[in-house]
Structure 1
Amino acid sequence: MNEPLAKTPSWPMSLIAFGFYFSLFCDPWGPIPRYFGWLLSIIGIVGLFILQGSKLRKPVLDPAVKIIIYIMIIWSVFTTLLNFYGWYHFGKGVSNPLEAVFGIWLTAFVVSKEGTGRFQKVWWASSVLIFVACILQAVNVLKFSVFSHHNTLGLYAVVTLPMSLNFAVRRYDSRLLYVISSLTVVLNLIALFLSFSSGPWLVGGIEILLFLIIARPGKYGLFKGLLIPLLITAILGFAFALIQPTYLDLFKREISQLTSFSGDFSKFTTNRTRIWEKTAHLISQKPITGWGWIRYKTLFLMSNFEAIPGVGIPVEPHNMYIQLLTYGGFPLLIIVVGLMLRGAWLAWMKFKSCKGENKYLYAAVLATILAILVYSMGGSVFAARQKIGFLFWALYGIAAALPERGKGKA
């Protein structure tokens, strides 16, 4: 985390980096601040192209990742044009995979030039602010909510948890940093608990196991980075239940849902099986090309489906794999899963080759990618593009980034 930063060579590079970190910090607050940060980065990119175009021509992405994302964009544009619904729907739909690709490239461009030190500091500051805001909102101190739905909070806590563990298992020269890093995990776990969503709870547990298996932080890292935060979180969770009795009822509801796995599968999936049944019909009609990148709710209404009991008109299919099959058929599903697996492999190779404590960063990235593959059975990072999607693709960009020529690590 204390990785030295390279000096930015010109104002375009400084503007690109500032816009990137601004969007990274502000992403959970909504798309407008993220787009503003991206706008600054794009202005910097244009300036760099005019003044030092050779810097943009240097590769910053893993070659295989570059090929996969080219194929993903070409196929997405093709299928959406094939099922043309108007330029508004085309632009809104195709912008989803384009944003993912831009997030990957922008992250890779910045960290390949200056390393990951500042990235981790900005990530930490942003996540702690969000955790504190969510907790204050839960105890009615704040009158506004960062996330409009508990599922969104759950996914945010899932995406940030391995990074929080990355901070906590490291060794620091200051006792204050030891305390702060452990408290970061506590705040992350509380935010995960407050989502009252059994899916993120399950994935969060899987993430912790994955991180420990991959990183192997030792007894000291395990004690400071996980066991103490878990104990503190359990105590605070009990206190929450006493202060807000409704939280205990919500907790019981989620436990009841988890225990219904072997019985009522519809209850276990919160009636999502009914959405998947309708979506399966759409997929069967166009299994190769799909229906193009269009808002799922719009497609549902265009298909003259009736409202689903207990659900109404679904906004999303709540499953990334089914979503990809709907939008781009089996080719798009294979492309995106291949992209994910390539990112996981790159993160693993960086972890294996890293000799310093930055290996925990790559362990966190790997754990996040694998956990999102599991989470995607009940949700989608593409559906969460407004407040969370960029955060995941930024982590992916760290895995896919090439080191600057002459340097040994990204």
Structure 2
Amino acid sequence: MTRGRAATAKRLETAQPSGGQEPLVVYFDDIGLVRDLFGHYDANLAVLEEQLGIEAVVNGNAVALRGPREACVAAKVILEHLYNRLAQGETIGVGDVTGAIRHASVSDTSEPGTLKPKAQQIKTRKRVITARTPAQSAYLACLEKNDLVFATGPAGTGKTYLAVAFAAAALEAGLCDRLILSRPAVEAGERLGFLPGDMRDKVDPYLRPLYDALYDTLGSERVERGLDTGMIEIAPLAFMRGRTLSNAMVILDEAQNCTAVQLKMFLTRLGEGSKMIVTGDPTQVDLPKGQDSGLFEAIEILRGIDEIGHIAFANSDVVRRELVGRIVEAYDRAGNTDRSKAAHSPANTLAESDSDIPESGKNR
């Protein structure tokens, strides 16, 4: 240990309350990266403290970790992993820290700065995107393996963003010729002709989340150039009929708002050399009353077919921020309560009682 490190370690040890176990001290070489690693006002360390139940004390380019031994070892592995990502030019935020915690394996600490299972990554023109949850890693692996992938789950799990990032990376790498984005325009009833402007003007409001992801991964200039040349195509679902989409990355977002007929039509557009990604949130079906979503029927019908995969995200996979996850869970609880009340309502109870009456005893 160098004289500087020895002095730092001494200060860290004396800063701890007496009577406890020795802290696990982690050192980093680049003080500039350390500032980004710990976060503004040590916000990233605060996440580690809260979620792992440890205490982190900073002194220069070192941090002392105190708490349950396994949790401290996990925090050390996470910090080294995030530091290595910073050294490779990535940026780190609170969401990345939370994602690293989810990926951390306390039992595998033999290789410094690594997590197991290793998080999948996508390298795009603007940035490297690292999966923040094991489910996101499984999603990216599923996209690599299969030609048709369904991704379902609540808002904030990264279904759409990762689909666009994966497709953008494939386009940049020359693995496909075109990127085609589609989404049902439920609010307009798929009847877009009466809306003002050209086709892009008509569908822009419905596809804004896809644009946001494109701009974040490819940059605005690249996206605008791709739209002008046709390399990136925005196509409303209603205009997909009769086409064969070859050598393309095709994304259908908000697929829970497709009927069975619409979704079958879309899925059968898949041509040679293409991949198709279909995303949807089972809790946000906006179809008119009396129309069922075709997404869940399609997943069930196509289950077990080679080259078709399905990733189902859970509430625990929400990565936007912790509050969003709590909001989703609260709505789920409220929905379950409403269904329970409906099942035990007087009308349903009467109907169930009436169903027990023999046919000969009814309508007397």
- The two structures have a TM-score, normalised by structure 2, of 0.30
- The two structures have a TM-score, normalised by structure 1, of 0.28
Structure having the higher strand fraction is: 2
Structure having the higher helix fraction is: 1
Higher relative contact order (CA 8 A, sep 6+): 1
Highest Rg: 1 or 2? 2
